[in-house]
Amino acid sequence: MAVTNKNTFELYLCEKPSQGRDIAKALGLTQRNDGYIQGKGLLVSWCIGHLLEMMPPDAYDSRYKRWSINDLPILPQHWKLEAKKSTKKQLMVIKRLLKQCHSVVIATDADREGETIAREVLDYLNYGGATRRLWLSALDTVSIQRALNSIRHSGETLPLYHSGLARGRADWLIGMNLTRAYTLLGNDRQVRSVGRVQTPTLALIVKRDRDIAGFKPQPYYEILAYFQPQKNQKLLETRWQVPKQKTQAILETSSEKNLCLDKQLAQAVISRCQNQYGTVTTASTQRKKQAPPLLYNLSGLQQEASRRWAYGAQEVLNIAQALYETHKLTSYPRSDCEYLPLSQFNDVSIILQALCKNDPSLCELLSHANQKQRSRVWNDKKITAHHGIIPTQATPGCQRLNTKEKNIYDLIRRRYIAQFFPDYEYDQSIILITIAEDQFKASGRIPRIYGWKQVINSNPERNKKNIQSSAEKELPAVEKGEQLLCDHLKLQDKLTSPAKHYTEGTLIKAMETIGTQVTDKVMKKILRETAGLGTQATRANIIQTLLQRKFIKKDKKVIKSTGLGFSLCDAVPETIKDPLLTAQWEQQLDDIAHKKGQNIDGFLQQQVDLLKAIISHIKQPAGNHSSHNKSQYKPGDLCPDCNHPLETRQAVRGKKIGQTYIGCSHFPDCRFYSWA
Q: CA 57 to CA 67: how far, in whole Å? A: 10
Helices 403-417, 298-309: crossing angle, 10 deg rounding: 120
Indicate the SS3 state at residue 280: strand
From first CA to last CA, the distance across the chain in angstroms is 69
The active-site residue, picked from 221, 296, 332, 426, is 332
CA neighbor of 502 nearest in space, from 561, 432, 583? 561
Catalytic residue check, 332: yes
Q: Which residues contact 16 (CB under 8 A, 6 or more apart)?
A: 46, 47, 48, 49, 325
Q: Sort strands 558-561 and 552-555 into parallel, antiparallel or unpaired.
A: antiparallel
Residue 397 near residue 410, CB atoms below 8 Å: no
Residue 658 near residue 610, CB atoms below 8 Å: yes
Buried (b) or exposed (e) across 511-529, using 16+ Cβ within 10 A? bbbbbeebebbbbeebbee
CA neighbor of 199 nearest in space, from 172, 173, 179? 179
Q: CA 212 to CA 205: how far, in whole Å? A: 11
Q: CA 142 to CA 144: how far, in whole Å? A: 6
Q: Which residues contact 229 (CB under 8 A, 6 or more apart)?
A: 235, 236, 476, 477, 478, 484
When computed from its CA atoms, the radius of gyration of the chain, rounded to whole angstroms, is 30
CA neighbor of 196 nearest in space, from 536, 591, 533? 533
Catalytic residues, by residue number, are: 332
